[in-house]
């Protein structure tokens, strides 16, 4: 029994190390899903599934390992003689607790690891064709047709002419791309070219929008910063120009994209 448990722990550890590295460096979901990102032939969801399955295997094997070695573990914790706790047990508990707290409150040293991850994820190339909104891969063809201001039948016909087989107007871009061995951004680009709309241009990124400050956002939208601050004040938010869209949107119970749409809408008023 001990051999089985030890070997399961070994294989699951190796799998978690491999998948953990991939999950650490893979692009953000909004980029990975839109571009159809893959590594070693597997997409983001597949890598995540492998990680979860082997994490569960390691959990079960770990519980069995503790059960089979309970007496030894107790000796490691208590030490010998009258010593209540060993130095090793205190140090490992303190280090583990420190890492837990710093992870929760985004403090060093955990913060350094998370910040590095953000830089690595941002290193991946951004999509050549920007999505019309965050996670646009979840749009159905009906919804996409509405945004492109054409009928769903025309979208279906254009896709068919390009050799893309669509099951129904309720199929999402993600499902359509996966079934046709393509990527959502490629299908979207194909439709834009077929409709003669070209590449959508915007002063604002649709990926990583929440990282922009209010000042940067207002400048790109062509709205005076004081006007943006006034709009948010009207909604009960005392905004500062250096605050990020993510922070401000969270205060309003909105997404960064919804906040930008609100600013653009009230700009016209």
Q: DSSP of 214-259, one letter per residue?
A: HHHHHHHHT--HHHHHHHHHHTT----TTSBHHHHHHHHT--HHHH
Residue 163 near residue 152, CB atoms below 8 Å = no
Banded pLDDT at 104 (limits 50, 70, 90): very high
Cα–Cα dist 76/78, whole Å: 6
User: pLDDT digit string (tens) for 117-168?
Assistant: 888 887 776 666 777 777 889 999 999 999 888 999 999 999 988 899 888 9
User: pLDDT digit string (tens) for 15-55?
Assistant: 999 999 999 999 988 888 988 899 999 999 999 999 999 99
Q: Is the pLDDT of residue 82 over 70?
A: no
User: pLDDT digit string (tens) for 206-226?
Assistant: 556 788 899 888 888 888 999
pLDDT at 206: 55
Buried b (16+ CB within 10 A) or exposed e, 259-269: bbebbeebeee
- What single DSSP character describes residue 140? B
- What single DSSP character describes residue 34? H
- What single DSSP character describes residue 85? S
pLDDT at 64: 95
Q: Residues 6 or more apart from 236 whose CB is under 8 A from it?
A: none
For the question of whether the overall pTM of this predicted structure is more than 0.85, the answer is no
């Amino acid at each position: 029994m001990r051999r089985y448990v030890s070997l399961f722990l070994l294989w699951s550890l190796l799998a978690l190390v491999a998948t953990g590295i991939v999950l650490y460096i893979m692009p953000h979901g909004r980029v990975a899903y839109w571009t159809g990102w893959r590594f070693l032939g597997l997409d983001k969801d597949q890598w995540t599934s492998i990680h979860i399955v082997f994490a569960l295997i390691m959990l079960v094997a770990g519980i069995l390992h503790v059960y089979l070695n309970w007496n030894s573990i107790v000796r490691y914790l208590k030490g010998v003689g009258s010593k209540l706790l060993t130095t090793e047990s205190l140090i490992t508990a303190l280090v583990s607790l420190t890492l837990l707290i710093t992870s929760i409150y985004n403090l060093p040293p955990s913060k350094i690891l998370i910040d590095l991850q953000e830089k690595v994820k941002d290193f991946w190339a951004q999509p050549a064709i920007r999505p019309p909104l965050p996670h646009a891969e979840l749009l159905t063809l009906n919804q996409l047709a509405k945004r492109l201001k054409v009928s769903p039948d025309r979208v279906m016909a254009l896709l068919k002419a390009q050799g893309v087989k669509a099951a129904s107007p309720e199929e999402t871009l993600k499902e359509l791309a996966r079934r046709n061995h393509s990527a959502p951004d490629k299908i979207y680009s194909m439709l834009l070219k077929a409709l003669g709309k070209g590449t959508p241009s915007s002063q604002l990124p649709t990926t990583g929008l929440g990282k922009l400050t209010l000042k940067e956002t207002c400048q790109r939208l062509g709205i005076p910063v004081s006007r943006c601050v006034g709009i948010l004040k009207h909604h009960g938010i005392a905004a500062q120009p250096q605050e990020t869209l993510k922070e401000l949107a969270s205060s309003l119970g909105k997404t960064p994209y919804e906040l930008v749409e609100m600013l653009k809408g009230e700009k016209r008023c």
